Structure 1
Amino acid sequence: MNTNIDLHQLVECIGDAIVVADVHEKIVLWNPAATRIFGYSEQEALGNTLDLIVPERQRQKHNEGYSHSMKTGTTRYGASLLKVPAKHKDGRTLSIAFTVGMLFDASGKANGVVAVIRDESERFAEERALKKRLSDLENPQT
């Protein structure tokens, strides 16, 4: 097996967004897929907080959870696939699915998170339309 994998190239070419934020929620890594999904260029995203993509109504819960994770070095989500709303640069709401991992410094103290994110907006809309159609078929208007 070739172990000479260029990790920068991997991050750049993968189809899912990879977003890394530091202990203060400042974005320190933003790959091209993140630009495609959220509309912000790497230059616009780097140095901003995750509030850039977290909808206002979710921010307090998100910020509390993030702060708790940085203090404890744990996330309650583990390897679970999270499905939440997110905010695009143009203001529209996205439906995203992502996994999150904790990052640690050499002393073992939490110093950030990495999220691997996929835009599920189209699939979510299709699923919602199918559920409505099924409901309409099961409960016809008389």
Structure 2
Amino acid sequence: MAPTIDFEQLVNAIGDAVIISGPDGAITLWNPAAERMFGYTQEEALGQSLDLIIPERLRGRHWDGYNKTMATGQTRYGHDLLKVPAVDKAGRAMSIAFTVALLHSPQGAITGIVAIIRDETTRFAEDRALRKRVAELEAKAGA
């Protein structure tokens, strides 16, 4: 017989941020990794809008997609790894990578969206620096 899994312990122990938001976009779960990544405590984040971590310039596009997903019950991102800008409590720009999944009630109604998020800020900056260096070397080689 398989052992019972303590999902609360799993969510709290995992190194990636786990954030769940309800149909209205209010945060209903914010794990310790989300606290470390974004700087907001669970008490500060729960019940708040996802706007906490969405850069202002991207909010319109985010909410258009979010509301469409809630209305249709479908997300075009399925199993795709999404890479987008984010912002932490201090206002620091971040690069995050995440997957999303819809959550449903036993009756099949959408109860929210779960996002599993990793901070890619350092890797993104390193990749950008490498691409810049390659472009510089290619320009020298072609000169």
TM-score (norm 2): 0.95
Q: CA deviation at 1:3?
A: 2.6
SS in 1 for 2:99: strand
Name the counterpart of 1:115. 115
SS in 1 for 2:140: coil
Which stretches in structure 2 are left out of the alignment for 5+ residues? none
Alignment of 1:54-93 (within 5 A): 54-93=54-93
State how far apart, in whole Å, the 1-side matches of 2:74 and 2:94 are. 26
Q: CA deviation at 1:19?
A: 0.1
Identity of aligned residues (%): 55
Q: After superposition, what is the alpha-carbon deviation per residue over 1:77-114, rounded to whole angstroms, capped at 9, x for unaligned?
A: 00000000001100011000000000112221212100
State how far apart, in whole Å, the 2-side matches of 1:107 and 1:68 are. 20
SS in 2 for 1:48: coil
Name the counterpart of 1:22. 22
Name the counterpart of 1:40. 40
Counterpart residue type for residue 119 of structure 1: D
Counterpart residue type for residue 86 of structure 2: A
Root-mean-square deviation over aligned CA pairs: 1.3
State how far apart, in whole Å, the 1-side matches of 2:14 and 2:110 are. 25
Name the counterpart of 2:124. 124
Q: Is the counterpart of residue 140 in structure 1 residue 143 in structure 2?
A: no
Counterpart residue type for residue 39 of structure 2: G
Counterpart residue type for residue 126 of structure 1: E
Q: CA deviation at 1:54?
A: 0.6
Counterpart residue type for residue 88 of structure 2: H
Name the counterpart of 1:105. 105
Q: Is the counterpart of residue 52 in structure 1 residue 65 in structure 2?
A: no
State how far apart, in whole Å, the 2-side matches of 1:107 and 1:76 are. 22
Q: Which moved more, 1:75-84 or 1:2-11?
A: 2-11
Which stretches in structure 1 are left out of the alignment for 5+ residues? none
C-alpha contact (below 8 Å) 1:29/1:46 kept by paired residues: yes
